[in-house]
Structure 1
Amino acid sequence: MLAHIRFDLVDLRLFLHVVDTGSITAGSRLSHLALASASARIRGMEDALGVPLLERLRDGVKPTKAGLAVAHHARLVLQQVERMHGEIADYAGGLAGRVRLLSNTAAITDYLPQALADFLNTHPGIDVDLEERPSHLIVSQLLAQVAELGIVADSADVSSLESRPFRRDQLVLVTSDQSSLARLTDSGTHGEGGRGTGFARPQAPPPQGGNRLHAV
């Protein structure tokens, strides 16, 4: 039965207007529909779902539990449609492409500001959506194809991703001569160390690892 449900965007907007105003009359006015047409659309949604979506009261209407669920999903659908319109408008305005880039905190604060500024100046038609994530989560989201590129520490397992070195992140240990940590320099570990960050992307052979940041 549910396989035959067909709601259009007018139905969803109307239903949200009705829920938000608590009135089918006010909702129909905001949707630029005749009251009879709006009532028929609401009834059609209820018949298709097999449950009442609105409780009719003497002074208006209020959503049932099923109605609240429909309203929640209707908002998500309409928000996604608006995002689609905005993205298509960007392409119409000359945008050549959009890339979603996930990065750990170290790369965002220390390396990406200048690198992204240089890239965007050179490629003004490319839009980069940058989001901060921990390295292990970046790897899993790249494998799920949630994003196109990521920057992770070399402690992350990128064996299932194509990766290459991006930057070497220098770490400095500052301690007193009496601290037990000071003995680390005597055992071959110098006062400065490095961690890696790099780029990666799915389904390609990994490069040789190193103590660097990797782009994946």
Structure 2
Amino acid sequence: MTKPQRFDLTDLRVLIAVAEAGSLSRAAAALPLALSAVSSRLRQLEDRLDLALFERHAGGVRPTAAGEALLEHARRILRAAHDAQAAMDGLAGQRREQLKLWANTTANSTVLPAALGRFLAEHPYLDVTLVERPSREVAQAVERGEADLGVIDGGYESPGLVVLPLGRYRLAVLAPPGHALAAGPDCSFRELTRHPLVGLPDGSAMQRFVEHMAALAGLELHVRARAPSFAAIARLVLGGAGVALVPESTGQGYRDAMGLALVALSDDWAERELKICVREWASLTPTVRALAGFLAGLD
């Protein structure tokens, strides 16, 4: 005889929220639900399963082995429920779909917006939420099912995901007018490291790549300031904080709008790649597959 089901979709959403937030109060705020409701649901779920799903500690909670096992199933079940609802909405004539696309700063300032705009123009029923995060967080969100697809730096490894090419970009040096580097048509990375720099935050894949290349060459970087976006970096460069490495196409906009100098980086590795990442291809909805294929130039 089949045993009765011991949880529902709301239980699974609470389980995931608590695991990701690391505390009941933060999970309650994120859902949003009353703290008492989150605590009660979690306690009743553990009682029905006769298993401890979380360990309590001074800083919050962490999943037990049983909790980790249920989390994997919960994420898969909620993705399936979302897909089922989307399919039924389509049959009912409710054609609008919602997708979450996470991308790193470089993608959002270079090739992604124009390509995404073309796809949306051809798919008027589709709404996309675009979230900007470092490549590591993008890949993790795709793995968890929090993002439908992501765009990451080509140098970032994501073994659990399917990876497709998106496009290439070249790094160039953004400098204030009159700076020593502004006079030449190009400069080497070695020359660049002799000057104070403005960079992206530590979590950025592009910044880690630049620092890795400096370490390989035995060079030291003097990063005077770090900023979360290329727009903020350009303002710091204009103010005289230092020079910066930016995608060439992005730098052209700041050169034209702000009068900054843009100088080619002569090193061979200055050409970089962006990649699309998705979960297992067979598990994707038709729309996610269509968008990933469009961005990768497969259709």
Q: Which TM bucket (shorter chain)?
A: 0.3 to 0.5
Q: Which has the larger radius of gyration?
A: 1
Name the TM-score, length of structure 2 as normaliser. Answer: 0.34
Q: Which has the higher contact order (CA 8 A, sep 6+)?
A: 2
TM-score (norm 1): 0.46
